[in-house]
Structure 1
């Protein structure tokens, strides 16, 4: 059970009460009392007592298991004897009352009273509100009202007045989506009225100011059951409206607001809930709703509601000269601080003028000796007034607001900066919200968080600033480490994602404010999905460094870059596999075609060899017949003819078998070369008229002259030239095909990757599949 210390009366700062606080006499405030140490094991200190008026609240386990299983935790509350709970109230609470904490045991330990109660859980309604901001649904509010109505009715039937009904005294034992199971706890302020006493009893001032009824806010409280119903109305208005009706935080200004004005119910938009709030928040106790009217409202009836602004308890007139700002006169520092904070642009314009600063400094001088202000406060005010000779910078302005409204929630420019709202601010800045971005920029530039650490909700902000600055200072080194050799392939996109921006400052701020929670989120955000492909090694190394939050943040920011790189790698791998499979299938089909077309291929080889050898056989015979050439030249020619013909046939048959069908003919065969060569003069003569005929005639004349020369001078030149030319062309054909075949087997993505890593190289022809393309010039 989450409990709060018993409500205490602190006379400091509230005029009209004497300071008669007793001295602390409990020997230990963070452990089980000595007389109970042999029975109870301490498991957790829920609340230490800062003053004698507060109880020591401990979670313990009972080794003797007098009331339940010994493993079930209990709550032990140990009071100072001067602030002991009402004995009759404690006795009544030992019985079973619906939705009310039960006192299992009460007694005395080390001279001070104690109570033992069940533990109902860790969450109060106040904690639930922080985790679920905004208005609560009418159905859920009605369920809360029904349970608290049952609890208060049971207490009032026993003549008990709780006097401290507030969200932090309402424990949420179980949380369902449509229902909250509640228990009303902390009856340290409860009073038993007595059945023979019908008149309101006067008691010391107790309770939390925001939930006090007007008649309970005076110096000597009027204690009746009506004060609990007013407190219930405030709880309902806060739940239904999403915000407490009273925006003041200081005790004095809150009590003045309760005494002089009806609570602002404009945020309560549901008609039935508005009726309930108006009935419960009637300032005259006799006209206020009680158990009967609330029961009727729960049943669907509409009990009459007294007119508002009737009655009230007027505060003493203020002697402070007002300060005019935005058409209003302010007599309290907290209210002006709130206005300065929310209307900061208007306040900045006011304080940019010398006359406005002088007017504010003179007005603040009235509070030098104000009640509740210490000598240190007076010295700080003197320094702040002196600094108002110049326009205040943001840190000086925040110090001024801290002095004027020390009890206000930590905020800047109207934005609350408690842990919950600071996390919301960082998320909004990450999403690009302009006001949130400006606020994060101001916090980073002026280091304002430490100045808010002393305000409510600002606890620990100085440590947050220290961690935040450490993260910001170390970010450049972390980025440089990420972008070293072996890091992301796409260095440009990676560097752009990691560059310092306002959004990055917001992420680093959230990391500083919630280290463990943000670390868990970063681990989840950077988790790798196997469906994205093979995880890049550099990204795996980032994620593996779980103790370095900056590297985890870098991993979360670069997840998209890593996914793109992985998808590209996966695409290259698929392409390699596809091309390899295609090459295997194409090669198999090609081998089949080679076997099927082998005979036609060899036929084209024989035809080409015959076309080459037949002419020079005819020319050698013609030279021998005409007897024009030297006989030694003719004999030499006949001696070369047979081996030359053999070489020609051998070379052509071998290259035909080596290249195979579809590759050898017509682009790489003798027949394919000679047939078009014979056709070209004829086509040129026909297509180009007289010029074409002249060119063709010249070519024929040249060939004729060569033929005559071979017949008359060197008949052996034809076979020799043919063998040498064919041998050279055969070697060229073989090497060209080997090069093309080798490139066809290479993986194009691999070659592109090699070029990317080694730099640009000369473009080489690539055959991606099947046989090489036709090349007539090879």
Structure 2
């Protein structure tokens, strides 16, 4: 899992293998935030890993030095100034970008823009970028005093410690002369600019928590809690700090004691234990063996701020004098202070843990090992016995003691997750809100959602764990967990309302790929994580979803109607989330619809061109068509003269019938020619002959008996002979009895066939026109309209139905192929 799995409850700089931020992220908590359960302002800085937009045209990013997780932390970047306003363009600078609610003290920053000496950071430039304040500072190097000490473990040489004291004395004296109190003097905020063995060059940095106290020393200003507990003065460890220069000198004393003794004089590491120890005991300094350094530590680590050494006393000490040191709080000489009792250690994963907060942190980070321990009866008994020594401990209320007794009772059996979390809350109430090492503040939940969406199994398992056991309300009292109880209620409501919010998507219309849409909408692995982030930041997440689902009109297509319906209500975050999940499907559907529209337009243009060419061909082929019509009528009327003349010559028919035949022959011939020429023009070339022409009928009539005779041998010949005999008999009857029947019968038969041809061709033309109109207009659903119900299958040819996805597209109907 790639997202961070731990965060310290106190400010800690981001560490790297060999390089480290010159200016660690400053976390400030100005008056009005961080108290009474207020979770503070929302993060409104955009792009916490890049140069602000208003400065990007001038500053080039070279390295990100901060890991910002809360608005109270400053973004720290190493940059280069292309305009070289303060240094050469190739010289790196440090950009610190604060949230406007956590801006540094403007008076303190004004002082730092001046030249206070070579051992204190100078603000080269300050202003506002994208609505938030920023500072541009020199880059003094890559190594802090903490890193230097880690590379040179143990007690540092006395001359080197003297140099550290001298440089810090010069820096703090200059700052205090201008009424600026640093409030966060730690080895992490001291940069080793040059690393000579005897005389390193130090610079005091990170004045983000500094305060300008003014000239009224009798009424020191009180501000909210700042700094790292290991270096806080006793008067600064209360909820509301007393801000005087004395707090900085106590921090210097702790730094000196750590360097001279090889380790920090306070054995505890949990914030709660450290603060309690500093508030109730004088630091023990058995490892500081140099008498002069021991005197300095005693003077600086005097609990009463009015008797603590300051710039004057430290200056005299550096000059070789021995200023007076106030007596220790116990009244005994420093060497006679009896060692105080410490908690019995608890063995966990090979470590001896003495504080409840440190054990809570380890249980949270190493949660699998903690679960194994709590599942073991012997492990629970050992933990219950160890926790017993903290009943009634200083700083614990009677309610805390009752809670501890109840937890110890519950540990007679393996605890469920809520009980385990209550145990962690009791042991480490000041630890950041987290579960299984994963932060659950606003940024932590955002990273958890991103990992779950990427398919991280551990992230999805953790989200399912939180949902199943409803652990968020138990974390609401921890730092960074403010409002998690309300988040749990919103999250549960979202999860219960999800199916109802998306159910109408498939009632009418909806995505074409319904199975894919249903799978995307109900993929529980990452859906719960998305809903959790939405519950944590409903307004901000809704705004992001609204931006993410905005349709790109430059693509030239339109969103489907169901997608627009999902985005129609910007105040419904669940439908916006559904639109976000189905954005890819909507784009694919829009692309397909756009492709179909293009295909229809191509077909329409092709049909128009084909029809135009067909009209040209009809005009060119009209003469041959009329020629076939004349040939057919000539063949049909030519035998009339022979039959009537033969009947008159033989004298078998009456004179009246012969005269009538001659009188009918001329108008009958005219009618035959008129009917055939008209139908030839009506039907037109290419389709008139031979399928629908009189000449074709004559040819087919003559070819039929011949083919039958040849195909069936003697039987065929017999049938053909019989047909000829029948025809001959009919001809003889017409000659001898009624010669007028031939022209009259021809006209009647041709008229009936012409009507039939006309009706059939008229119906075919009408169906073809309907097919062309349907194809060109497109019967499919247009963008933004609900698709109609599928029509019943047409009973006659020429009807259209929806084409199956993936089936080949039919050719556009034309007048030629219709």
1:764 aligns with 2:792: no
Aligned match of 1:97 in 113, 116, 122?
116
1:646 aligns with 2:674: no
- Cross-structure match for 2:185: 165
1:205-354 matched pairs, under 5 angstroms: 208-209=227-228, 212=231, 223=249, 248-252=270-274, 320-354=343-377
- Cross-structure match for 1:560: 584
Q: Deviation per CA, 1:412-470: give whole Å up to 9, x if none.
A: 11211122111100111112111111111112222211111111111222222222223
Structure 1 portions without partners, runs of 5+:
1-7, 9-44, 52-71, 79-84, 104-117, 129-136, 171-180, 193-205, 234-245, 262-281, 287-313
- Cross-structure match for 2:624: 600
Q: Is the 8 A contact 2:767 2:797 kept in 1?
A: no
- Cross-structure match for 2:64: none
Task: Specify which structure has the bigger relative contact order, considering alpha-carbon pairs within 8 angstroms and separated by 6 or more residues.
Answer: 2
Once residues 441 and 187 of structure 2 are traced to their aligned partners in structure 1, the CA distance between those partners, rounded to angstroms, is 18
1:138-177 matched pairs, under 5 angstroms: 155-156=171-172, 158=174, 162=182, 164-165=184-185
Q: Is the 8 A contact 2:186 2:255 kept in 1?
A: no
Structure 1 stretch displaced more, 755-764 or 738-747:
755-764
Structure 1 stretch displaced more, 577-586 or 548-557:
577-586
Q: Is the 8 A contact 1:162 1:191 kept in 2?
A: no
**SS of aligned partner of 2:613:** helix
**SS of aligned partner of 2:778:** helix
Q: Indicate how the Cα distance of structure 1 residues 158 and 483 shifts in structure 2: closer, same or farther if over 3 A, else same.
A: same
Shift of 1:599: 1.9
1:364 aligns with 2:387: yes
Q: Is the 8 A contact 2:233 2:250 kept in 1?
A: no
Once residues 340 and 488 of structure 2 are traced to their aligned partners in structure 1, the CA distance between those partners, rounded to angstroms, is 43
Shift of 1:623: 5.4
Once residues 232 and 632 of structure 1 are traced to their aligned partners in structure 2, the CA distance between those partners, rounded to angstroms, is 149
Structure 1 stretch displaced more, 181-190 or 723-732:
181-190
Q: Indicate how the Cα distance of structure 1 residues 75 and 338 shifts in structure 2: closer, same or farther if over 3 A, else same.
A: closer
Q: Indicate how the Cα distance of structure 1 residues 254 and 615 shifts in structure 2: closer, same or farther if over 3 A, else same.
A: farther
Shift of 1:744: 3.2
Q: Is the 8 A contact 2:629 2:677 kept in 1?
A: yes
Shift of 1:396: 1.7
**SS of aligned partner of 1:577:** helix
Q: Indicate how the Cα distance of structure 1 residues 722 and 503 shifts in structure 2: closer, same or farther if over 3 A, else same.
A: same
1:719-738 matched pairs, under 5 angstroms: 719=746, 720-738=748-766
Aligned match of 2:608 in 584, 597, 611?
584
1:535-684 matched pairs, under 5 angstroms: 535-615=559-639, 618-619=642-643, 641-683=665-707
Q: Is the 8 A contact 2:709 2:716 kept in 1?
A: yes
Once residues 479 and 400 of structure 2 are traced to their aligned partners in structure 1, the CA distance between those partners, rounded to angstroms, is 17
Shift of 1:167: 12
**SS of aligned partner of 2:789:** helix
Once residues 643 and 315 of structure 1 are traced to their aligned partners in structure 2, the CA distance between those partners, rounded to angstroms, is 147
1:307-456 matched pairs, under 5 angstroms: 320-456=343-479
Shift of 1:580: 2.9
Aligned match of 2:31 in 17, 26, 47?
47
Q: Indicate how the Cα distance of structure 1 residues 630 and 430 shifts in structure 2: closer, same or farther if over 3 A, else same.
A: farther
**SS of aligned partner of 1:208:** coil
Q: Is the 8 A contact 2:614 2:816 kept in 1?
A: no
Q: Is the 8 A contact 2:647 2:736 kept in 1?
A: yes
**SS of aligned partner of 1:377:** helix
What is the aligned length? 593
**SS of aligned partner of 2:477:** coil
Once residues 503 and 276 of structure 2 are traced to their aligned partners in structure 1, the CA distance between those partners, rounded to angstroms, is 54
Q: Indicate how the Cα distance of structure 1 residues 518 and 91 shifts in structure 2: closer, same or farther if over 3 A, else same.
A: closer
Shift of 1:495: 3.3
Q: Is the 8 A contact 1:534 1:566 kept in 2?
A: yes
**SS of aligned partner of 1:740:** helix
Shift of 1:752: 5.6
Q: Deviation per CA, 1:623-677: give whole Å up to 9, x if none.
A: 5655666777767666655444333322221222222223323333222343344
Q: Indicate how the Cα distance of structure 1 residues 452 and 761 shifts in structure 2: closer, same or farther if over 3 A, else same.
A: same
1:479-490 matched pairs, under 5 angstroms: 479-490=502-513
- Cross-structure match for 1:460: 483
Q: Deviation per CA, 1:193-246: give whole Å up to 9, x if none.
A: xxxxxxxxxxxxx9734563999999999948955978999xxxxxxxxxxxx9
Q: Indicate how the Cα distance of structure 1 residues 563 and 92 shifts in structure 2: closer, same or farther if over 3 A, else same.
A: closer
Q: Deviation per CA, 1:499-530: give whole Å up to 9, x if none.
A: 26232221121122222322222122111112
Once residues 708 and 362 of structure 1 are traced to their aligned partners in structure 2, the CA distance between those partners, rounded to angstroms, is 135
Shift of 1:334: 2.2
Q: Indicate how the Cα distance of structure 1 residues 162 and 493 shifts in structure 2: closer, same or farther if over 3 A, else same.
A: closer
Q: Indicate how the Cα distance of structure 1 residues 594 and 632 shifts in structure 2: closer, same or farther if over 3 A, else same.
A: same
Q: Indicate how the Cα distance of structure 1 residues 629 and 547 shifts in structure 2: closer, same or farther if over 3 A, else same.
A: farther
Aligned match of 1:475 in 486, 494, 498?
498
Q: Indicate how the Cα distance of structure 1 residues 554 and 225 shifts in structure 2: closer, same or farther if over 3 A, else same.
A: closer
Q: Indicate how the Cα distance of structure 1 residues 396 and 50 shifts in structure 2: closer, same or farther if over 3 A, else same.
A: closer
Once residues 764 and 729 of structure 2 are traced to their aligned partners in structure 1, the CA distance between those partners, rounded to angstroms, is 34
Once residues 255 and 411 of structure 2 are traced to their aligned partners in structure 1, the CA distance between those partners, rounded to angstroms, is 47
Once residues 752 and 48 of structure 1 are traced to their aligned partners in structure 2, the CA distance between those partners, rounded to angstroms, is 61
Q: Is the 8 A contact 1:402 1:455 kept in 2?
A: yes
Q: Indicate how the Cα distance of structure 1 residues 350 and 552 shifts in structure 2: closer, same or farther if over 3 A, else same.
A: same
Shift of 1:154: 5.8
Q: Indicate how the Cα distance of structure 1 residues 222 and 460 shifts in structure 2: closer, same or farther if over 3 A, else same.
A: closer
Shift of 1:400: 1.4
Structure 2 portions without partners, runs of 5+:
1-9, 11-28, 36-99, 148-163, 191-203, 216-224, 239-245, 260-267, 286-292, 298-336, 800-810
Once residues 508 and 422 of structure 1 are traced to their aligned partners in structure 2, the CA distance between those partners, rounded to angstroms, is 11
